[in-house]
Amino acid sequence: MKIVSSLAAIGTAALLAGTAAAQTTTLRVQTQQSPESPAGQQAAQWVEKVEKMSGGDISIEMFYSSAVVKSAETFDAAANGILDCDMTNGSYQTGKNPAFQFVADVMGGYDTPLQFLAWIQHGGGREQINELYNANGMEFVGAWLGGQESLNSTKPLSGISDLQNFKFRSPPGMESEIFAALGAKPVVMDFTEIFTALETGIIDGADASTLANNVGLGIYDIATHTTYPGFHSMSSDHLACSTATWEAMPEAHREILKVSMDSLALGLMTQVIVDNGEALDALPEKGVTLHDWSAEDRATFRKAATDTWEVWAAKTPEARAIVDSHLEFLERIGLRD
């Protein structure tokens, strides 16, 4: 009896020790995406997958539509402990360092999301990004992007000439300078303010997201002109967590988050292909005109974009380094002459 009791006691102690050793991670994450949008739905699926992959050891509270702080304040809110992770966009941080622009959107650079993700995975992009993020108290975990975005407008937008005095919502950063050089009047505003600004006529149009995401946002209920296929912007959102949060996680949890971001990126890319195709069929029936810019107009835009790259690259050593990294990789994969 004593032997049995001793074994039982040892077993109970081992069980309690195992329970005590188990680590859990709870993350408060904010995205600017609405829960109804295709990207927001993908984010919700990502939360579920992470929790399942971790056996419930990782719990994520997702705040949609920038519910806690403004989109541009999310990065600092995570770094300062108000949130744990930022799932918005690096372009909001270009005021800290222009190098953030080339994490968020290499305008006029890559043609597809896979090419940009290849730079992160195989072109030294992850290391370049984390040099920048770590200096600001954050860790870059992964990127997710759907594809080329579509400009939308309440008036025709058939080419470069229609950009003259075109007043549109632009994200902060390099894009405003490119479009201003082409005659447009960019207005920097928060992502969540787009619909109201269109509805009240404060802006003529907006650079918001992909064709399908714009449908989800309800933008085409007001803006009846759009560019498609897109050409000007392929914005990449990120998952970035505070350095303190990241370092406190078990290694297994960090790996789950990295792998799950690869899954999220693939899920968004494939979903956008389907959703854009369905939107492409449905929008003309709703009175929306699609404008496919000519090769000449696209070339004019690309020239304005790449000229602006060099202006931004000269601003800081970090910007120069990340632009050079992109240029080398673009040549490596055959996208530069």
- Rounded to two decimals, what is the model's pTM? 0.83
Per-residue pLDDT at 21: 52
Question: Which of 159, 175, 168 has the alpha carbon at shortest distance from 299?
Answer: 159
Look at the block and give the residue holding tokens 């990449």: 236
- Stretch (H or E) spanning 27: strand 25-30
Question: Which of 79, 220, 211, 83 has the alpha carbon at shortest distance from 149?
Answer: 211
Largest interatomic CA distance in the chain: 93
| pLDDT greater at residue 17 or residue 282 | 282
Q: How far apart are CA 1 and CA 9, in angstroms?
A: 12
Cis peptide upstream of residue 229 (ω within 30 degrees of 0): yes
Q: What is the mean pLDDT of the chain?
A: 91
Per-residue pLDDT at 299: 86
Tokens of 23: 């680590």
- Stretch (H or E) spanning 61: strand 58-63
Look at the block and give the residue holding tokens 């006029």: 108
Q: What residue type is assigned to position 180 of the chain?
A: A
Cβ(68)–Cβ(82) below 8 Å: yes
For 98-121, write each residue's pLDDT tens digit: 999 999 999 988 989 999 999 999
| pLDDT greater at residue 58 or residue 188 | 58
Question: Which of 173, 140, 132 has the alpha carbon at shortest distance from 318?
Answer: 132
CB atoms inside a 10 Å sphere around CB 175: 24
Per-residue pLDDT at 19: 41
Per-residue pLDDT at 90: 94
The residues that bridge with 226 in the sheet, in sequence order, are 152, 290
Q: What residue type is assigned to position 192 of the chain?
A: T
Q: Is the pLDDT of residue 317 over 80?
A: yes
Q: 45: helix, coil or strand?
A: helix
Q: 140: helix, coil or strand?
A: strand
Averaged pLDDT for residues 243-259? 98
For 267-293, write each residue's pLDDT tens digit: 999 998 999 999 999 999 999 999 999
The bridge status of strand 58-63 relative to strand 25-30 is parallel
Q: Is the pLDDT of residue 1 over 70?
A: no
- Mean pLDDT lowest for which of 25-29, 63-67, 212-216, 271-275? 212-216
Question: Which of 86, 52, 54, 55 has the alpha carbon at shortest distance from 68?
Answer: 86
Tokens of 124: 């030294």
Instruction: Please report how many Cα atoms fall inside a 13 Å half-sphere around the Cα of residue 3, on the Cβ side.
Output: 0
Cα 128 to chain centroid, rounded: 17
Tokens of 129: 């990004």
